Amino acid sequence: MAHVLITGGAGFIGSRLASRLAAAGHRVRVLDALLAQVHGSDPDTTSPLLRAVAGVAEVHRGTVTSVDDLRAALVDVEIVIHLAAETGTGQSMYEIDRYVEANIGGTAKLMDLLTNEPHSVRRMVVASSRSIYGEGAYRTGAGTVVYPPHRTDAAMASGDFAVRGDDGEELELIPTSEDAVLHPSSVYGITKQVQESLIMTVAPTIGVEAVSLRYQNVYGPGQSLTNPYTGILSIFSTLIRQGQGIDIFEDGQESRDFVYIDDVVEATFLAATIPEAAGGVFNVGSGTATTVLDVVEALSAAFGVPVQTSITGRYRLGDIRHNVADTRRLSSVLGFHPEVPFAEGVRRFVEWVVDEPVGGDTYRQSLEEMAARRLLK
């Protein structure tokens, strides 16, 4: 049994992972800044995630941007699971310094400390992201696999949201493997790519096993319903409960790979604890592409109410069109297969949501902030 540190360990993924590790007999410590955007203005009273993790782990309130906080949290630790990060592609495009400082700067401080001071860490798992792929992998009509550039403002303004090759041909989406070309389309994606690269490059030079997990779109009970940057399921569910219609960006056919929280936790547990994971880079997803309109339909069925939608044609700069992960490496090396299909995951999510307070309209505020900076068209 190991002593495990989870940075960002009081968050959506970290709190459940702490419980999983503790149940398996590991000693768990978490380091978390308990940001108001995630935990509310008074985390001790407003954060159920903090209450959950406090029952199974030693909680250090601090930040990865502080060497002193990191040093204290690393005492006697054997495994580090590095989840701490600012998240949200849209917000990252106008809070650039904050994202770079937390995601890149915090990781650099962590690796610098491990490189230059005594420690007992033998394995590090970093939470990377599907955002590092940008548009990911596609196939041409001739069967060639390509990694297309980001869609242009001009094309999307004309209502053309398709991903096209240099010759204007519309490309066919295929699952993106871990060997794909990396070309993130947002500041968040850039920071996650650098974060992963720092750990996967430096850790082996200091005798630490490194594992990178490229999470797809994680959802499920426990995710923030007030943070407008945590994903469309929480945003849409709040709008439905408020009796509001849902404005759909682009044409509603944009897709993502949604993976249920319990599946993500189990994959991360294996990455942290089994020998076969050492040195590996793994996509953690469902392997299924789900469109935004599919999400609305699934939520409508789970809530048991019709949902009024409007296809607006609006779009956000930095958004990708599609995303689906190739999960064969996860299966073959870690022996892991996601178990919760999307419809069942949404049912469990809604079952939890209906007992939670209805959030405020922070989503509209986030859209106004993006529009003011001409990132939302």
Q: What is the pLDDT of residue 49?
A: 82
For residue 266, is it within any domain?
Answer: yes
Going residue by residue through the chain, which has 377 residues, state the pLDDT in tens, using 9 for 90 and above.
Answer: 999 999 999 999 999 999 999 999 999 999 998 877 777 767 777 778 888 888 899 999 999 999 999 999 999 999 999 999 999 888 899 999 999 999 999 999 999 999 999 999 999 999 999 999 999 999 999 999 999 999 999 999 999 999 999 899 999 999 999 999 999 999 999 999 999 999 999 999 999 999 999 999 999 999 988 877 778 999 999 999 999 999 999 999 999 999 999 999 999 999 999 999 999 999 999 999 999 999 999 999 999 999 999 999 999 988 999 999 999 999 999 999 999 999 999 999 999 999 998 876 677 888 888 889 888 99
Tokens of 85: 């990060």
Question: What pairs with residue 5 in β-bridges?
Answer: 29, 80
State how far the Cα of 37 lies from the Cα of 86, in Å rounded to an integer: 10
Q: What is the pLDDT of residue 169?
A: 95
Q: What is the pLDDT of residue 163?
A: 97
Tell whether the torsion through CA atoms of 241, 245, 246 and 247 is positive or negative. Answer: negative
Angle at Cα 82 formed by Cα 78 and Cα 88, nearest 5°? 170
| Long-range contact set of residues 263-266: C-beta below 8 Å, sequence gap at least 24 | 263/338, 263/339, 263/340, 264/13, 264/215, 264/218, 265/13, 265/16, 265/17, 265/20, 266/20, 266/336
For residue 10, is it within any domain?
Answer: no
Global confidence as pTM: 0.95
Q: What is the pLDDT of residue 99?
A: 97
State how far the Cα of 353 lies from the Cα of 372, in Å rounded to an integer: 31
Count CB-CB contacts under 10 A for residue 153.
Answer: 12
Q: From residue 82, give the alpha-carbon distance in Å to each of 4, 77, 199, 331, 372.
A: 11, 13, 10, 22, 33
Q: What stretches of the chain adopt beta strand conformation (E)? A: 3-7, 27-32, 58-61, 79-82, 123-129, 138-139, 145-146, 172-173, 209-215, 217-219, 246-248, 255-256, 258-260, 281-284, 290-291, 309-311
For residue 267, is it within any domain?
Answer: yes
Q: What is the pLDDT of residue 358?
A: 84
Q: From residue 219, give the alpha-carbon distance in Å to each of 230, 240, 348.
A: 9, 17, 10
Instruction: Tell me which of 188, 215, 260, 315 is the catalytic residue.
Output: 188
Rg for the chain, CA atoms, rounded: 20
Q: From residue 207, give the alpha-carbon distance in Å to each of 70, 72, 115, 128, 279.
A: 19, 21, 10, 21, 11
> CA 351: distance to chain centroid?
22
CATH number at residue 117: 3.40.50.720
Tokens of 164: 């096209």
Task: Identify the domain containing residue 365 by its residue range.
Answer: 85-373
Nearest Cα to Cα of residue 262 among 318, 339, 203, 328: 339
For residue 77, is it within any domain?
Answer: no
State how far the Cα of 377 lies from the Cα of 370, in Å rounded to an integer: 9
133 close to 176: Cβ distance less than 8 angstroms: yes
Angle at Cα 252 formed by Cα 247 and Cα 257, nearest 5°? 115
For residue 309, is it within any domain?
Answer: yes
Clarify whether 188 is annotated catalytic.
yes
For residue 61, is it within any domain?
Answer: no
Q: What is the pLDDT of residue 171?
A: 97
For residue 219, is it within any domain?
Answer: yes
129 close to 188: Cβ distance less than 8 angstroms: yes
Q: What is the pLDDT of residue 48?
A: 81
State how far the Cα of 339 lies from the Cα of 331, in Å rounded to an integer: 12
Q: What is the DSSP secondary structure assignment for residue 149, as one 8-state letter?
A: P
For residue 99, is it within any domain?
Answer: yes
Tokens of 337: 């297969």
> How many domains does one find in the chain?
1
| DSSP per-residue string spanning 339-360 | ---HHHHHHHHHHHHTTSPPP-
Nearest Cα to Cα of residue 164 among 316, 290, 322: 322
